[in-house]
Structure 1
Amino acid sequence: MIYAFDTFYYPDYAKTVCIAFEQWDSETESFIYSENTEISSDYESGAFYKRELPCILSLIKKIGLKDGDLIIVDGYVTLDNNGKIGLGGYLYESLDKKCPVIGIAKNKFASEDNMRKTIFRGESKTPLFLTAKGIDADKTKIKIENMHGAYRIPTLLKKLDQLTREKVKLNTIS
């Protein structure tokens, strides 16, 4: 199963949503998981993971990962050529490197990272940026390029973003 996570911050809580799907080219999700949590820390420039990682880990505990599962996060796994990691890298380490983590970012990170892949989808002139740990980034790039949807953001990742921004205070595992 492929699990894509995103979190959106409201004034009094964080809403984390996960869309699960079986194939890279799936048009629809198999499951949607959602959890509202207290915001554990304020935003800290350069340490975004401190705020979002607890939210994702909390929802992962409720889902229960299996061998072969993949995780996608909205953001970066690696940040530069010197080994600095982002949210996805911290998630990979928190999961004892047992589950591959793929980062799909909408904005370019300033530092050079030879592991970062640039993805152009549809007619868009604006790329997505892929980083990963535990999985081959070149092969994953092809999978992301071929995900369902004619636009820059694949259908299911666009839906994930929309679901996190819907101000409906859910607390479900469905």
Structure 2
Amino acid sequence: MIIAIDVYYLENTAKAIGALFYWDDTVAKNTISVEVDNIEPYVPGEFYKRELPCILKVIEQAGLEQIDLIIVDGNVYIDNEGTFGLGGKLWEALGGKIPVIGVAKTSFKNTEEKVTPVERGQSKNPLFVSAIGMDTEEAAALIKGMKGEHRMPDILKYVGFGE
């Protein structure tokens, strides 16, 4: 089973949403919502410190043993040297046991070796897909093949990856 997770913020509280699904699904099999208080403040370059604890709470509630793959709204790498972004930090926090795909709406400079642009629907504005624990090209093909007619796959939009 796959889980896609995104996090929203209100002052010092966050709401994390996870959708459990299979690749052929048009809607989530199950949705998990978790509220987290006293989150870290936003610090440029350290976004993961704010978001990672929220994502881990959703994964804990979903049950790690039933998850085969995780999709996050963000980047696995933030440069061509392989510096971890949110997705890489998540993979590291889980001991490298579960592949992570990052789907970002914008790209970082100097990530062209680690990120594959994916055009979907009629949009010429690509999504930027990165992965760890699996081949990036395979991850990009999976995201491209997800259900939905628009730039953002339906299940990812439902979770909040939005435009």
Compared CA separation, residues 31 and 62, structure 1 to 2 (3 A): same
Superposed displacement of residue 12, structure 1? 4.1
Q: Matched residue of 1:93: which SS?
A: helix
Q: Is the 8 A contact 2:80 2:112 kept in 1?
A: yes
Alpha-carbon distance in structure 1 between the residues aligned to 2:127 and 2:112: 14
Superposed displacement of residue 113, structure 1? 3.7
Correspondence for 1:167: none
TM-score (norm 1): 0.88
Superposed displacement of residue 58, structure 1? 1.6
Amino acid paired to 2:21: F
Alpha-carbon distance in structure 1 between the residues aligned to 2:25 and 2:54: 26
Correspondence for 1:124: 123
Q: Is the 8 A contact 1:88 1:103 kept in 2?
A: yes
Superposition pairs for residues 62-77 of structure 1, below 5 Å? Answer: 62-66=61-65, 69-77=68-76
Which consecutive residues of structure 1, in runs of 5 or more, have no partner in the other structure?
Answer: 164-174
Compared CA separation, residues 102 and 162, structure 1 to 2 (3 A): closer
Alpha-carbon distance in structure 2 between the residues aligned to 1:112 and 1:100: 19
Which consecutive residues of structure 2, in runs of 5 or more, have no partner in the other structure?
Answer: none
Correspondence for 1:6: 6
**Which structure has more RCO (C-alpha within 8 Å, separation ≥ 6)?**
1
Q: Is the 8 A contact 1:148 1:155 kept in 2?
A: yes
1:33 aligned onto 2:32:
yes
Alpha-carbon distance in structure 2 between the residues aligned to 1:35 and 1:4: 14
1:57-78 C-alpha deviation (Å, 9 max, x unpaired) = 1221122112661000000001
Q: How many residues align?
A: 162
Amino acid paired to 1:93: E
1:137 aligned onto 2:136:
yes
Q: Matched residue of 1:153: which SS?
A: coil
RMSD over aligned Cα atoms = 1.5
Q: Matched residue of 2:64: which SS?
A: coil
Q: Matched residue of 2:17: which SS?
A: strand
Correspondence for 1:170: none
Superposition pairs for residues 12-31 of structure 1, below 5 Å? Answer: 12-22=12-22, 24-31=23-30
Alpha-carbon distance in structure 1 between the residues aligned to 2:21 and 2:137: 21
Superposed displacement of residue 35, structure 1? 0.3
Q: Is the 8 A contact 1:79 1:113 kept in 2?
A: no
Compared CA separation, residues 10 and 145, structure 1 to 2 (3 A): same
Q: Matched residue of 2:7: which SS?
A: strand
